């Protein structure tokens, strides 16, 4: 089963990377645990601050987890490993599926960690709500997975951290992962066009209506549908037979 072994080693490599450990797990967890105790009973955006911030930090960490395969791709490219794989029977499809699965598995671990921290600080949701929130987060991460693969096949190892970091931090910040920046006005309209806004608001969504409004689905779908072809083009360009 070439596919399974490949996924296993991809996951192992991701878990061995300090980037993953720090950006996807350590940082969001620590920030959550440091900030929440003093604001346990605060209310943000109509829901309890521990729930709001749990979703925010889970989304932030999971964005890193989803985009991070790009960093591995860029390093593998620089070392000639992407090229070396092309003279093995490994199919492109298996390779990409492994990257996507790894991104999601790491993201799920981030969610699990933050959910655990959330419950320790009094977040209570029923099983359906936890599942719905997880579902919304995974859907909303799709654009980040695609961006990671696209950037990894295009940018150099030197340029990549800045590009990925800028993308994740900017979207997380504007989306409200670190706290609500905009409650009304034109800026709110603008940030609602970002997938990160909908990721961060998955928590509020599940205690409210249960699902994103049509607007949320459309925004996430458009980002995903635009970025997947870009990732495909980047991959094909990088591995083209010249």
Partner 1 sequence: MSAPEPVRMGIELSKVAKSYSSVQAVRGIDLAVAPGETVALLGPNGAGKTTTIDMILGLSRPDSGTVAVFGASPTEAVKSGWIGGTLQDGSPPDQLRVRELVALVASYYPHPLSVDEVLRQTGIADIAERWASKLSGGQAQRVGFAAALVGDPDLLVLDEPTSGIDVEGRREFWQAMRAVAERGKTILFATHYLEEADANADRIVLMARGQIVADGPATEIKAKVGSRSIRATLPGAGLAELGALPGVLSAERHGDAITLSCSDTDAALGALLSKFPNTRDVEVSGASLEEAFLELTVDKDDHDDRDTVGVAPSLVGQELR
Q: Which residues bind partner 1 (CB under 8 A)?
A: 1-2, 5-6, 9, 12-13, 16-17, 72, 75-76, 79-81, 83-84, 86-91, 241-242
Neighbours of 62 (CB within 10 A): 28
CA 164 – CA 149 distance, rounded (Å): 11
Complex with partner 1: residue 46 or 89, whichever CB lies closer: 89
CB of 175 closer than 8 Å to CB of 59: yes
Q: What is the DSSP string of 20-76?
A: IIIIIIIHHHHHHHHHGGGGTT-EETTEEHHHHHHHHHHHHHHHHHHHTHHHHHHHH
Complex with partner 1: residue 127 or 242, whichever CB lies closer: 242
Q: Residue 129, exposed/middle/buried by CB under 10 A (0-12, 13-18, 19+)? A: middle
- Closest contact distance (angstroms) between CB of 17 and partner 1 is 6
CA 198 – CA 136 distance, rounded (Å): 8
Complex with partner 1: residue 98 or 194, whichever CB lies closer: 98
φ/ψ region of 49 (left if φ > 0, alpha if ψ in -120 to 50, else beta) reads: alpha
CA 154 – CA 235 distance, rounded (Å): 8
- Closest contact distance (angstroms) between CB of 85 and partner 1 is 8
- Closest contact distance (angstroms) between CB of 9 and partner 1 is 5
Complex with partner 1: residue 13 or 192, whichever CB lies closer: 13
- Closest contact distance (angstroms) between CB of 229 and partner 1 is 24
- Closest contact distance (angstroms) between CB of 87 and partner 1 is 5
Complex with partner 1: residue 6 or 99, whichever CB lies closer: 6
Complex with partner 1: residue 80 or 185, whichever CB lies closer: 80
CA 157 – CA 70 distance, rounded (Å): 10
- Closest contact distance (angstroms) between CB of 2 and partner 1 is 5
């Amino acid at each position: 089963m070439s596919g399974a072994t490949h996924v296993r080693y991809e996951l192992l490599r991701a878990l061995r990377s300090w980037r993953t450990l720090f950006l996807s797990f350590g940082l969001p967890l620590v920030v959550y645990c440091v900030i929440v105790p003093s604001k346990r009973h605060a209310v943000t955006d109509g829901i309890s601050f521990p729930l709001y911030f749990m979703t925010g930090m889970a989304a932030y960490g999971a964005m890193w987890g989803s985009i991070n395969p790009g960093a591995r791709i860029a390093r593998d490219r620089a070392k000639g490993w992407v090229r070396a794989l092309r003279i093995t029977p490994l199919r492109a499809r298996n390779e990409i599926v492994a990257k996507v699965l790894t991104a999601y598995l790491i993201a799920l671990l981030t969610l699990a960690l933050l959910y655990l921290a959330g419950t320790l600080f009094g977040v209570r949701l029923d099983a359906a709500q936890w599942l719905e929130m997880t579902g919304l987060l995974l859907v909303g991460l799709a654009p980040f997975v695609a961006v990671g693969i696209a950037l990894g096949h295009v940018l150099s190892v030197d340029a990549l951290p800045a590009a990925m970091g800028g993308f994740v931090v900017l979207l997380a910040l504007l989306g409200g992962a670190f706290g609500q920046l905009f409650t009304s006005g034109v800026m709110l309209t603008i940030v609602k066009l970002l997938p990160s806004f909908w990721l961060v608001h998955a928590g509020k969504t599940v205690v409210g209506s249960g699902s994103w409004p049509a607007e949320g689905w459309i925004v996430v779908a458009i980002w995903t549908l635009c970025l997947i072809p870009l990732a495909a083009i980047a991959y094909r360009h990088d591995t083209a037979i010249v």
